Amino acid sequence: MTTRKSTNLFLAFLALFVFSGCIGSSSSYYVLSVASQPSHVYARKNKVIAVQKVSVPGYLFKREIAVASSSSQISFLGASWGEDLDEGLTNRLIGFLQKKFNQPTVYHYPWGLDNQPDIKVAVNISRFIAQNGVVYLDASWSLESFKRNKRVARLFSTSVATQSDATHIVNAMDQAFARFEESVAQGISQF
């Protein structure tokens, strides 16, 4: 085989590996599903808390981390989420509430049991994105007691300053969601 053919063959294989992700894959993966440690614990005895799947905006269903360049335009960073954020944030909220109320009876709702929970938590995130050096989290949450026929709903909004790289954005998102978790826990303790 000639040197030219060998070089062309080598370049073809190199291009194939690069495009298939075997070489040159420098993606970083991030998660938000690790429940933060509460600053203090509430006393809650024998209450079953059910958490519905967290509802998130469509751009959070993508695996790439999104940033807003304007109020109507988003772009994606080179970093990716290592989980589906709706499921990850749901699991994180469940884990946090278990820690916050020092009880294991916080579950994903709905479940296959005949019993109704004492409190059902529903969360709708309307904005969770970085824009111009700030991470914004806008959400609503509601609590419902089937047994007492009582319901309460609240709005939540916070912002956390950040730098423009993925690591700092994810850390700011983590801080924003930790604030949100505390808000929901406080609402449950007063419900």
- Do 108 and 94 contact (CB within 8 A), yes or no? yes
Residue written as token pair 């419902």: 144
pLDDT for the residue 87: 94
In sign, the C-alpha dihedral spanning 125, 84, 67, 168 is: positive
> Given this model, what pLDDT does residue 35 score?
85
CA distance 140 to 115: 26
At 45 the pLDDT is: 67
Residues in the chain: 191
| C-alpha span between 133 and 135 (Å, rounded) | 7
Answer yes or no: are the C-beta atoms of 36 and 178 closer than 8 Å: yes
Give the H or E element holding residue 151. strand 150-161
Q: What is the pTM of this model?
A: 0.83
Question: Considering the chain, what is the average pLDDT of its residues?
Answer: 85
- Domains for the chain: give ranges and CATH numbers: 1-29 (no CATH), 31-190 (3.40.50.10610)
Residue ranges of the chain with per-residue pLDDT less than 50: 5-26
Determine how β-strand 49-52 pairs with β-strand 73-81: unpaired
Alpha carbons 30 and 150: distance in angstroms, whole number: 38
Instruction: Output the pLDDT for position 2.
Output: 54
- The answer to whether residues 145 and 76 touch, using CB atoms and an 8 Å cutoff, is no
